[in-house]
Amino acid sequence: MLTKTSNDHNQTSPRFILHIDLDAFFASVEEVNHPELKGKPIVVGADPKQGKGRGVISTCNYEARKFGLRSAMPISHAWKLCPQATYLAVNMPLYEEVSKRIINILKPFADKLEQVSIDEAFLDISHKVADLKEATTFAKKIKSIILDRESLTCSIGIGPNKLVAKIASDYRKPNGLIIISKDDAKKFLAPLNVEKLGGIGSKTKERLNSIGIKTINDLASYDIKKLKDIFGAWGEEFHRMAYGIDESEIIEEWIPKSFSREYTFDQDTSNYDELKFMVDKLCEEVTLEAIENGFSFRTITVKIRYENFETHTHSKTLPFPTSSIETLKNTSMILLGPFLRSDRKIRLLGIRASNLNEKAHQKTLEG
């Protein structure tokens, strides 16, 4: 559920949407914090434990990427590829503080600002600039101020909408700047792989590839009726995106859809006491976050991943919203029950609270 906190931009006026993406953010912040690491490979994520660690890379700097490392890579594999890297634990309080400072830098530059994640944001600058030349100068000033104040680089894409701006910001990383006019949007997108379009994941990519669509130009040229027959309403949306059409607005305030926590065990386990301890811990963290943000919840989901990476989820929707830790704990253990097998060990455990109610009257359900 989303809430807009300002009026929509007049669609008859030219739109200038800027997307900013901080380069290798976590690792770059660590490099600023530890100048002695500058120019060396840095990996932020799970403890590699000399190649025996569990978990994945959260992010790594561009020096580490030269060795083939990337986000979401198993940390044990990263160690094999680059044992000489500096491996650091995620320091979220530090990254959040730097992110807040950067958002405060960006706010005066925007008619409207949408923070997409800790290191990404969209800015509607339609009333701040008159043409692409001014937009270029505008973006260079933003990059200069962030570099001067925070010693961080960023990549910026500017386009007629969010779709084109985001793809443009990723086009020439790191420290890139790409400006795409409305007239050039389709031409810019045409040679790119079809999965560059938002909403096209690995499974949809496979289906598109199977019918001969590999590039965005292939998608734009494909018969729209056939696309709708295969993908339903999404087929028409994919076709519009391939032409660089996106009318989505800048959303200045996001209301969260869920709160969740996951934990990867150091060693796969089927031990009931160990699993219950972690369920309790995750439930406490999820409930605390929900309460701090003024929400109760109705739907509870447990996620497990077995040692062979087979993954399952099990959910239950309560009759009333709640923010009771005990309710979340008890319900989670009931949902976990069918997955507890002595012959199968669990690698990962997750708890999610969703179907949120903001500042709702909360009833506590026992049992």
Strand partners, 74: 56
Strand partners, 302: 314, 351
Nearest to 351 by CA among 308, 304, 292: 304
Residue type, position 331, single letter: T
Q: How many CB atoms lie within 10 A of CB 10?
A: 9
Classify 349 as helix, strand or coil.
strand
Instruction: Look up residue 130 and give its DSSP letter.
Output: S
Structural contact between residues 152 and 163, judged by C-beta atoms closer than 8 angstroms: no
| CA angle (151, 154, 160) in 5-degree steps | 150
Q: How many CB atoms lie within 10 A of CB 260?
A: 15
Name the active-site residue from 36, 63, 96, 120.
120
Tokens, residue 334: 């009931």
Tokens, residue 89: 């634990």
Q: Is 292 a catalytic residue?
A: no
Distance, in Å, from the CA atom of 111 to the CA atom of 203, rounded to the nearest integer, reads: 37
Phi, psi dihedrals of residue 250, rounded to the nearest 5°: -70, 125
Beta strands in 308-345 (DSSP E): 311-322
Q: Kindly list the catalytic residues.
A: 120
